[in-house]
Amino acid sequence: MHWIRWDQVLASMENEGLDIGSLRAFNGGIDSNINGSSAWPTIVKLFSKIKRDGLLPANVLRVRVGNGHSIRYWKDNWRGDGSLANRFNRLMHLDVNSECLLADRIDDGNWKWEWSREAIGPRNTLAIQQLSDELGTLNLNESMDTWEWMISTDGEFKVNETRVFFLDEGLLPSAQTATRWAKQIPRKINIFLWRLAWDRLPTRLNFSK
């Protein structure tokens, strides 16, 4: 018999939960049967699925431009919300190298293109003008390109801030009353009092309900 919903158990203490916060325990719909021999492909694929399902904003991970040697011009999120491939997909497929780097497409502050055919048509010509207007001017520097985690205040990934944003504010229930937890008494007593506050003890009245 389940006395309290599992997502409420996972919720933070500020939201009247027990602050268990296990992603593995709360992965309903998140597990995407990801295959891969190393941790990094798994992280990238899971991150992509979380974004695709709308659980994280599209611009949560973006690049601070330095020398442009590690940024994919079309596919990485380095300007605006989302990649250029999402907004200018036809132009990306016209590029001789859709995996080109940012440094490959700029020369002394001026954009340079390499299209797969000379006659690109008026529609694509207009799209190039729109792309140029959106990008404006950009000057690369000698520093390394760096990734920023936009959820954190300083741009660095922090587990706690991400957990609050993703789990506590995005997936788990919220409540106005915080869980009261006394470290001086045993855990089982704290949990008993928490269940009492929810009126979820196995009393005769609750059993009859």
Cα Rg of the chain, angstroms: 25
Q: Report the pLDDT value the prediction gives residue 29, as an integer from 0 to 100.
A: 45
pTM value is 0.53
pLDDT tens digits, residue range 121-147? 999 999 999 999 988 888 888 999 888
Beta pairing class for 106-107 and 110-111: antiparallel
Phi, psi of 195 (to 5 degrees): -65, -35
Q: How far is CA 28 from CA 9, 58, 73, 86, 114, in A?
A: 15, 21, 34, 28, 45
% of residues, the chain, pLDDT over 70: 76
Q: Report the pLDDT value the prediction gives residue 25, as an integer from 0 to 100.
A: 46
From CA 77, how far away is CA 152, in angstroms rounded? 17
